Amino acid sequence: MNYSTQMDAARKGIVTEEICTVAKKENMDIKDLMHLMSKGKVVVPANKNHKKLSAEGVGKGLKTKINVNLGISKDCCNVNLELDKVKKAIGMKAEAIMDLSCFGKTQEFRNKLIAVSPAMIGTVPMYDAVGFYDKELKDITAEELLGVIETHAKDGVDFMTIHAGINMETAQIFKRNPRLMNFVSRGGSLLYAWMNLNNRENPFYEYFDKILDICEKYDVTISLGDACRPGCIDDSTDPSQIKELMTLGELAKRAWKRNVQVMIEGPGHMALNEIETNMKLERKLCHDAPFYVLGPIVTDVAPGYDHITSAIGGAIAATYGADFLCYVTPAEHLRLPDLQDMKDGIIAAKIAAHAADIAKGIKNARDWDNKMAEARRELDWEKMFDIAIDPEKARKYRESSMPEDKKTCTMCGKMCAVRNMNKVMEGKNINILRDED
């Protein structure tokens, strides 16, 4: 029995290798998974040309996934450094890597990335267009923009950010409702500029059916980009953002009719008290399509620490319905991240995702924490390091300050509550001031 996409397979009752992989990773019944996929509530991004892929599912009832952004730019075009980041991200078990390259030999780097990565790969074709054609933005034709999408699809990209929601109608809403930060989406701002420079409709909206042709052919998941995402907390939940979200919901339905999988991208910068409402709005307006958020970053005043502001927002967002967190590094708003920035961003995003999975009651999510609690009760430091989300840092801290009693740490020493409770429970003397018997 033939199928065009993973969604088409699920609807036809065909169990693909990718569906099996996801069901096993999620400890989920295959029939339940396929039902969610058939309704568009779960996606399994899996381009037919990505041979190295170990498939992941994103959506309702599944573990919260994280994405790592990397890629070369004109100011920082060290391909070897970006490949080192790729290896690090894979080693840290990030479920997705987005190549945001926008300068130089982007296709060469993209092909190397796809060839080695078991993680799903995403791109933003709009970023690549200017360099791909070596033409100024205004002079790139609609057909050429679609051509970049097809090139990325042929190369094996599993999901693409397509900013199709910033159409003429949404642009008018934006013009009538001024913002403090205007647009901060790179792809969205480029398309808005193209529309104004050429006095034409957004080609990704106008020719959405042609994009669906490409995505169906290669089984590319569309990540419907939020050109109007808020770039500061003052711009969140405004008319532009909500109008675009409504448009994305309409586009999702069109994609599903063609068996093309869809994710919805979301904010952005947002105050804590607005996050829950925004998650519910996306679920309602976009018909429970998986939600992919950047943060949200919950305050604008912490440059250098936005992996923390993002993790706070991401944990809350995922608790209330977000399925996929785009990591944010300490370098956000400041520079292209280096290797350490990337590691810090991954750890922060993984903490947020796991904390949300506990809150959502994801099956077996608490098991990891319970294993750590058991290791701590036993004062088994090696087991603690093995279980830790970042064993290297945990071990480094421990070894930098060793206590007299090797079972404890230098915070409490022999007054350690765990040590002393263990002794009391075993009927032994505590011996805080004296040596052990």
Q: Which helix (H) or strand (E) holds 172?
A: helix 168-176
292 is in an annotated binding site: yes
Other residues' Cβ atoms within 10 Å of the Cβ of residue 253: 13
- Only one residue has tokens 């915070």, namely 411
54 is in an annotated binding site: no
274 is in an annotated binding site: no
192 is in an annotated binding site: no
Are the C-beta atoms of 50 and 156 separated by less than 8 Å?
yes
335 is in an annotated binding site: no
152 is in an annotated binding site: no
127 is in an annotated binding site: yes
50 is in an annotated binding site: no
77 is in an annotated binding site: no
189 is in an annotated binding site: no
How far, in Å, CA of 258 to CA of 255, rounded? 5
375 is in an annotated binding site: no
How far, in Å, CA of 315 to CA of 357, rounded? 9
CA atoms within 13 A on the CB side of 24: 9
286 is in an annotated binding site: no
Query: What is the sign, positive or negative, of the torsion defined by CA atoms of 382, 386, 387, 391?
Result: positive
Dig out the tokens for 425 from the structure.
């429970």
Dig out the tokens for 434 from the structure.
């004296």
Residue type at position 101: S
205 is in an annotated binding site: no
Q: E-strand spans in 114-220? A: 120-123, 159-162
287 is in an annotated binding site: no
Asked, as a colleague might, if the bond just before 337 is cis with ω within 30 of 0, I would say no
* Separation in Å, CA 276 to CA 201, 281, 314, 360: 33, 9, 11, 13
Query: Helix, strand, or coil here: 295?
Result: coil
57 is in an annotated binding site: no
Contacts of 288 by beta carbon, 8 Å cutoff, 6+ apart: 39, 40, 41, 60
Dig out the tokens for 267 from the structure.
């904010």
| DSSP secondary structure code for residue 435 in this structure | P
Q: What are phi and psi of 292, to 5 degrees?
A: -120, 115
227 is in an annotated binding site: yes
416 is in an annotated binding site: yes
412 is in an annotated binding site: yes
As annotated, the binding site includes: 69, 98, 127, 163, 185-187, 226-229, 265, 269, 292, 333, 409, 412, 416
As annotated, the binding site for substrate includes: 69, 98, 127, 163, 185-187, 226-229, 265, 292
As annotated, the binding site for [4Fe-4S] cluster includes: 409, 412, 416
As annotated, the binding site for Zn(2+) includes: 269, 333
